[in-house]
Amino acid sequence: MLNIVLFGPPGSGKGTQSEKIIRKYNLVHISTGDLLREEVKNQTELGNKAKEIMDRGELVPDDIVIGMIRKKLVEHAGGPGFIFDGFPRTVEQARELRKALTDLDERVAVMISLEVPREELVKRLLKRGVETGRSDDNLQTINNRIDVYNRQTLPVTRYYGKMRKHRTVDGIGTVDRIFDRIVAVIDNLN
Ligand code: AP5
Ligand code: MG
């Protein structure tokens, strides 16, 4: 399997690029944000718990997220592989992902970080907030999401860095240009 962690701050283009990557490499897309928004929409017990946390821009507890991931891994085990979008977001989640993949005799091949400056992130997310009404795309929550990313999520890059699996990609430019940069990284693995 080809298992890729697509990493980066809120608004860096993880969702946008994942759509293109899954088509080219035939991977299964797992976005914990999308899975959580689905739970919120369906007003499940999990969704009702997560909604307030997401609207503040904080992280949902690790055990909830890991439970969702484990379920997806088992569903699609033995397939061509996964693209993890917005997960792992804490070192604990990264450790748990490793365990879950090891149970399937699998591993993460690479972590690709999309690098985009803060002003551009805020600009993109405010625009999407106006266009789609996503409830966490307002200035206060956007700023908190970026702060939470810097504080709690960035350390995950060191976790993969120690295993020499961390690569960075310039996330500024057209969607197609950025995609080409990502493809170059993937096609140069080993
Ligand atoms: P999540 O849904 O993961 O949101 P996020 O990380 O804040 O990131 P976004 O989805 O906003 O951005 P993106 O990088 O996918 O960019 P996109 O392609 O959409 O998480 C939401 C919440 O759920 C979290 O705050 C947390 O509460 C909870 N959560 C989720 N996962 C969790 C976990 N693992 N643990 C704990 N809690 C978790 O692009 C953004 C915009 O920019 C779009 O409008 C797009 O059209 C535009 N755009 C994309 N590329 C470009 C480009 N090249 N140029 C110009 N505009 C562009
Ligand atoms: Mg996204």
For residue 137, CA distances in Å to 2, 12, 88, 156, 186 come to 32, 13, 21, 24, 31
The single residue of 37, 89, 165, 167 carrying the catalytic annotation is 89
Cα 99 to ligand 2 centre (Å): 24
pLDDT at 118 exceeding the cut of 90: yes
What is the percent of the chain with per-residue pLDDT over 90, rounded to a whole number?
98
CA–CA distance, 88 with 156 (Å, rounded to integer): 7
CA–CA distance, 142 with 158 (Å, rounded to integer): 24
pLDDT at 131 exceeding the cut of 80: yes
Residue 24 is given by DSSP the state H
Residue from 32, 46, 82 to probe ligand 1 pocket by mutation (most atoms less than 8 Å from CB): 32
Q: pLDDT category, 35, cuts 50, 70, 90?
A: very high
The predicted structure's pLDDT at residue 30: 97
Q: pLDDT category, 190, cuts 50, 70, 90?
A: confident
pLDDT at 45 exceeding the cut of 90: yes
95 is catalytic: no
Nearest-ligand number for the alpha carbon of 53: 1
What is the percent of the chain with per-residue pLDDT over 70, rounded to a whole number?
100
The predicted structure's pLDDT at residue 175: 98
Ligand 1, atom nearest to 177 Cα: 53
The predicted structure's pLDDT at residue 102: 96
Cα 10 to ligand 1 centre (Å): 4
The predicted structure's pLDDT at residue 147: 98
The single residue of 98, 118, 123, 134 carrying the catalytic annotation is 134
151 is catalytic: no
Average pLDDT, the chain: 97
Q: Indicate yes or no: pTM above 0.95.
A: yes
